[in-house]
Amino acid sequence: MSAKVAIVMGSDNDFEIMEKAYEVLKEFGVESEVIVASAHRTPYRALQYAEEAKDKGIKVIIAGAGAAAHLGGVLAAVTTLPVIGVPIDATPLRGVDSLYSIVQMPSGVPVASVAINGAKNAGLLALQILALSDEKIAEKMDQFKKDMAEEVMQKSDRVNKKIK
């Protein structure tokens, strides 16, 4: 099976955060490809990667970047694949600068955004996108949601036992 999701980050320093997307995709049995490409330091690499992603079988791109966080927008500018931006806390502004850069994309170049450092949710959103056309992933996602609900119910039971 070829990679269905690309995880692109602006710096190797971002891997600690972006690894959470990789891990959730792996947990669901979805292959991913991980690369470092900077919108500012290696713009041609980033553009070329996005232009070729669809031909390589990529279905969704997750782009993590800090500071100006232009990576997701650069990738989205040259592909029709869905791009999910992960704003990374990499500056004294604690990731708010990155969040604004991702959510304030101009009309016609959409980039979805998750929370600051929210790479796990980016991976889950990528899985939900893939689940639209992959029944196996859809079934795993349904089970994931049920398991989460069950975990919350168990926590509720533990709290109630403590107060009784």
CATH number of the domain enclosing 17: 3.40.50.1970
27, 71: one domain: yes
147, 113: one domain: no
129, 143: one domain: no
**Count of domains in the chain?**
2
121, 156: one domain: no
142, 126: one domain: no
Residues 144, 156: Cα–Cα separation, whole Å:
19
Nearest to 26 by CA among 148, 164, 127, 139: 127
What pLDDT is stored for residue 90 in this prediction?
93
pLDDT surpasses 80 at 150:
yes
93, 154: one domain: no
For residue 134, name the pLDDT band (cuts at 50, 70, 90).
very high
14, 78: one domain: yes
What pLDDT is stored for residue 2 in this prediction?
57
16, 92: one domain: yes
Asked whether the beta carbons of 109 and 48 are under 8 A apart, the reply is: no
128, 150: one domain: no
Residues 68, 88: Cα–Cα separation, whole Å:
10
What pLDDT is stored for residue 123 in this prediction?
98
Burial (CB count <10 Å: 0-12, 13-18, 19+), residue 104: exposed
pLDDT above 90 as % of the chain: 95
Region of residue 105 (left: phi > 0; alpha: psi -120 to 50; beta: else) = beta
Looking up tokens 């119910």 gives 153
What pLDDT is stored for residue 68 in this prediction?
87
Domain that holds residue 142: 138-164
94, 156: one domain: no
